[in-house]
Chains A and B, each alone.
Chain A
Amino acid sequence: MQAFSYVLAHSVAEATAILAQEGSRARCLSGGTDLIVQLREGRRRADVVVDVKGIPELNQLSFDSQHGLIIGAAVPCYRIYNDARIAAAYPGLMDAVTLIGGVAIQGRATLGGNVCTASPAGDSIPALIAHRAVAVIASPRGEREVPLEQFFEGPGKTVLQTGELLVCFKLPPPPAGFGAAYLRFTPRNEMDIAVVGCGAALVIRDGVVQDARIALGAVAPTPLLVPEAGAELIGKPLSESTIVAAAEAARAAARPISDLRGSAEQRRHLCAVLTRQALAQAAARAQSLPQPAHA
């Protein structure tokens, strides 16, 4: 592996100052499950590795039904699914964090890392988009918030500018009648990369879909929110035909490539299949989830 220096940052200010000063020479180290492999294989370079796990704001994990969920960018997956209240309230996210790698990966891998790696196939991203996650970004100039669907610019490319640090994600509280799911298709049952991933969230009240968000992974240069698919559902009772219409909209929105993990046609086909399945699962959860207290 190439040589680099290592800095353990203790505050957002310290980290952003280093990032601002070092520019592209610096890389943030969170769980390390992507970065260490990339450095080892020479796919990325870094002269300074800034370990962000020592920063309190990046380690926060808090949930209440009024304000929703805040997940620090350096919180590893296992902490999220070990929290029964969070797992129950954000089932799509729960699906994703239990699917990323195996148990030993989940012991290190973080949402911040998964999002900043910006792989089109990153498992947490469609789930976070479905859950309306907002990325909180800090820099020496202050903070800004970016809805996650607007965070990505291409494979490995994000809106983060020099000196900017992803601090945390804010997820709104689940409204009454909320259900969500993340499904991915992989040839193996675990330890695999999504051929296609689909996050779906529904709000169903009085038998009518109030809100629907469908996000796809691995079918475009960036994870993809598909408003057209949601539009097929909103304002109507959920039925076989609206689900199929949403699934077809998802298929139509996909812009996949053929690569070693799947062909473009296979991916378009799977978009429809997974969208149907994810919607069905989200709907089932919407019926069965305990409703938030304030609803």
Chain B
Amino acid sequence: MSKVLVSAIINEEPTEFLCEPRQSLLEVLRDVLNLSGAKEGCNNGNCGACAVIMNDVLVNSCLVLGVEAQGARITTVEGIAPKTGLHPIQQKFLEHAALQCGVCTPGFIVATKALLDRNPNPTEHEVRLWLAGNLCRCTGYDKIVRAVLDAAATLRGQASTQPEALEHPNGTAPIAEKKPDPAATVTKPRFRVIGKRPIRPDGVDKVTGRALYGADIKLQGLLYGKVLRSPFAHARIKSIDTSAAEALPGVKAVITGKDFKPAEDRVERSGEGTVNYSYLSQNVMAQDKVLYHGHPVAAVAATSVHIAEEALALIKVEYEPLPVVLDVLEAMRDNAPILLPNLRTHELGEAVGDKPTNIASHEQIARGDVEKGFAEADVIVEREFRTATVHQGYIEPQNATALWNADGQITVWTSTQSAWDEQRELSAILHVPLSHIRVIPMEIGGGFGGKLNVYLEPLAALLSLKAGHRPVKLWMQRDEVLKATGPTSASVIRVKVGARKDGVITAAQAWMAYEAGAFPGSPVSSGMGVIFAPYRLENLLIDGYDVVVNKPPAKPYRAPGGTNAAFAGESVIDELAEKLGMDPLEFRRINAVREGDRSAYGPTYGRIAYVETIEAIAAHPHYHSPLPQPSGPHARVGRGVASGFWFNWDGKSSASATVNPDGGVAFLEGSTDIGGTRASLAMQLAETLGIDYEDVHPMVGDTQTVGYNDATGGSRTTYGSGLAAYHLGKQIIEEMRARAAKLWDVPVDEIVVEGNLYRHGDKVISFKELAAKLDETGGPISVSVSIDAKGALPTFGTHVVDVEVDIETGKVSILRYTAAQDVGCAVHPSYVEGQIHGGVAQGVGWALNEEYVYDAEGHLLNASLLDYRMPTALDLPMIETILVEVPNPSHPFGVKGVGEVPIVPPAAAIANAIYRAVGVRMNVLPMNPRNVLRAMGVIERHAS
């Protein structure tokens, strides 16, 4: 199709471009005009990441054709800032930490500009309404809304509300460590840098659209790839004919399962968990069978994405459909359709029998005697719960660009939480030595566990090889993301807990079956660890089953398996408290684990602070305030509480640093930064060195430029890589001492270091002054460390929520939310709050509306961000946080993991609040309007 010449004014610049009629304005901006600030999040108008202003009107550029821009005036995120500096909106987004991954940020900045141009003084509701078309998965919108209101005030010339001005801007003071800490005094803060709220180092690039995410990369001779996916949920592939596709002009390579040598049937660690390379390989490209709707069967590389797409339509695949199984209980039945003929149940760690099965494993945790415990109980509650399949919902779809060079070296640019895991996986799948593969993590637009493993990377690499060593870029459409990546497990959980009249739990039992998706690997074992982790238990029995079904393979999602487990466990705890006539917080406090108690999952707890989170909520005005007034005659309000737990990981980290002659420190670390960890790590290095945060210049390296790092996952980065930053700082200090000693010609051990000052007797030199003398004292200082961090501590959170239930429609609204969490040490409090906001927001989505809807044949019916309903800004209130700071003794600054706990309690807290509002115990997720009306007996009373 011939191209059309279009003239437009783009960011005040008269611009001409050629485009095909079928190219969207988004495509033109990104690919033709190199304005990659507008992001492709869904490509159908549901996420707002591609928003631009066209003739003074906010539009989604994915829903405008390039040719429609003829004569238009267009402003993109690149055109928001003045010639120098930033626009106040951009500045306020930075100050309020209103971005985490940053991929939705350009859309929010542009939408905010359009709002404030029209309405300089919007209310909070007006802001939320205007921004409802922009999805953010990281922040819970709290800080975004604050940033917008503050930007509006600033633009009106009013005083702004600087988050720096407040110790904790939500108006709550941190709960101090109970034991007196001699190091801490009122007059002298414990830390110079830690606890402050500096601007993140990558912030300016993210609010101006300059940050390069995986899909933004451009290379010489770049080809564009597309993946053909199975329309069946379960079928045998009888034949694939790619000849017509290969003959299409512009097509440079086509691959199918035949291009993959089988990978070793070997289980390796991956992220916090494990991965089987054989299964992983079969997942990235189907071999003889497809196991879920969306399973890749072929891929094409061509000179344009549209040609690649046309080529897919020319590939002929002959399928023999097989019966599907979509439900965990049905998959466990003896006569269920079998997904993997060679799978045998691992019974308590050992493969047993020779019968094909869908039950990949049965694990058990047992302690004491539950029968005896239940016999001692005065009250027993036993319930069954079901939870739906849900997705991580990151706004940036998976993408990968690969160059398989003529010398056999492979370079991969991708959005990943774990460059080194991907390097191992690529090596295993492609049968290429590890050292021949370089993985470069680009900026990442959210992950939440869903970007730990390869999907497109091996395809891009093989396509590159087959296309004659040309680089190939692939990125997913949103339906592919939902059909074939993530999600996390649906589950059936049965819980039985007994307690005495005095409130002491006597026995707890759980039966947990988690869907693994197409290949083994559900998070059932971590669910087993989470379900009773908050409680001291003498008699305990937990059985867990990992079961394959015809859905995409489950991947970790923020506290994997934890939300399912806590929904069940904490609902039963709430009901027990009610039956005992006890306050639900008091019941939890009585049974709460403390330091030295043995956890339900085995290890003895170190310095945990569960009780402190209960007490923080119990003492908070929210818990004591009267319930909000119902909004109408059909509204009922209720308040619920629940607690949550996560293990937290430490893992391996490497980092390196160079001291520059001006005293600045170039800091190279290897943990993908999803939510502001460049800041939290740089702060720890600055704190260690006694220098200013602004003098540390962090950068995320890749598998070639910095030593090995475990995944950004398991809430480990600020802990594990923070420890690496600390040790790096200590090494720099030792080097600097040696230089001071050399300078003054004194023994090294006589040099005393105080903060940034190096002393000997009355001689003193600052870090900066000493840095200026490196040349004359032995040359540059460059250090690196690699550590295997130990000592991460589990953390707990306790949440309280007020809901309103519309008894006519079944709709549940969140009126007020307060989350208390032990965070160890809030290195950068804004990003700690942001983690809690984001976790709560995801928990609310999981609780109320998110679910995979399949038809009987296993087709995913809601593979869009329209029908997969993640919360918008209008679906959430501000989320209040209480940062309980009980330091971790294993970390010099007391750091504990933060990111995962906050997604664990919301579903249960909301269920408990719904019960208080309408008297119905919800035993199914999501608690969407239909399910609430069903539970209330308003509709479908006789349905199965």
Interface residues of A (CB under 8 A from B): 1-6, 8, 29, 31-33, 36-37, 39-41, 49, 51, 53, 76, 78, 101-105, 107-108, 185, 187-193, 195, 259-263, 265-266, 269-270, 273
Contacts and interface: CB of A to CB of B under 8 A. Distances in A.
Interface stretch (B403-411, B859-867, B905-913): B859-867
B129 A190 contact: yes
B67 A191 contact: no
B68 A32 contact: yes
Contacts of A101: 45, 133
A275 to B, nearest CB: 12
A40 B869 contact: no
Contact of B63 (A32, A78, A185): A32
B65 A6 contact: yes
A34 to B, nearest CB: 9
B888 interface: no
Contacts of B237: none
Given A39-B22, A265-B940, A269-B933, A102 B869 contact: no
A1 B22 contact: yes
Contacts of A29: 65, 68
A106 B37 CA distance: 22
Contacts, number: 144
A36 B938 contact: no
B872 interface: yes
B322 to A, nearest CB: 24
A71 B65 CA distance: 24
A33 B54 CA distance: 15
Contact of A107 (B59, B65, B943): B59
B939 A190 contact: no
B872 A51 contact: no
B24 interface: yes
Contacts of A102: 48, 132-134, 872
B306 interface: yes
Contact of B68 (A2, A51, A107, A259): A51
A6 B19 CA distance: 11
Given A36-B63, A103-B58, A105-B60, A273 B808 contact: yes
B415 to A, nearest CB: 22
A3 B309 CA distance: 11
A29 B63 CA distance: 11
Contacts of B930: 262-263, 266
Nearest to B110: A104
B168 to A, nearest CB: 29
A39 B20 CA distance: 14
B412 to A, nearest CB: 27
A190 B45 contact: no
Given A107-B59, A185-B809, A188-B875, A265 B849 contact: no
Nearest to B129: A190
B340 interface: no
Contact of A191 (B59, B866, B940): B866
B22 A187 contact: no
A103 B869 contact: no
A195 B930 CA distance: 10
B133 to A, nearest CB: 2
A104 B43 CA distance: 13
B1 interface: yes
B874 A273 contact: no
Contact of B872 (A3, A78, A189): A189
6 contacts: A105-B60, A107-B57, A187-B849, A191-B132, A265-B943, A266-B939
Interface in B350-373: none
Given A1-B309, A36-B63, A108-B59, A190 B132 contact: yes
A260 B853 contact: yes
A6 B67 contact: yes
A282 B114 CA distance: 32
A265 B939 contact: yes
A103 B130 contact: yes
Indicate the member of B45, B310, B939, B940 with the most A CB atoms within 10 Å: B45
Contacts of A40: 43-44
A120 B476 CA distance: 30
B541 to A, nearest CB: 37
A259 to B, nearest CB: 8
A32 B22 CA distance: 12
Most central of B67, B848, B930 by chain A CB within 10 Å: B930
A183 to B, nearest CB: 11
A261 B132 CA distance: 20
B250 to A, nearest CB: 12
B118 to A, nearest CB: 9
Nearest to A274: B809
Contact of B875 (A3, A4, A103, A189): A189
Given A32-B65, A108-B64, A266-B933, A188 B849 contact: yes
A165 to B, nearest CB: 18
B46 interface: yes
Interface string B909-944: 000000000000000000011100100001110010
Contacts of B24: 36
Interface string B447-491: 000000000000000000000000000000001000000000000
A32 B130 contact: no
Given A29-B68, A31-B63, A263-B940, 12 more contacts: A37-B45, A49-B21, A103-B114, A104-B133, A107-B54, A107-B58, A108-B57, A185-B929, A190-B129, A259-B861, A263-B939, A265-B943
Contacts of B871: 188
Contacts of A259: 861
Contacts of A260: 853, 861-862, 867
A101 B849 CA distance: 18
B21 A5 contact: yes
Contacts of B73: none
Interface in B130-172: 130, 132-134
Contacts of B811: 185, 187
A221 to B, nearest CB: 19
Q: Which of B853, B862, B939, B940 has the most CB of A within 10 A?
A: B939
B5 interface: no
B867 to A, nearest CB: 6
A200 B115 CA distance: 31
Given A39-B22, A192-B869, A269 B132 contact: no
A105 B872 contact: no
A4 B44 CA distance: 19
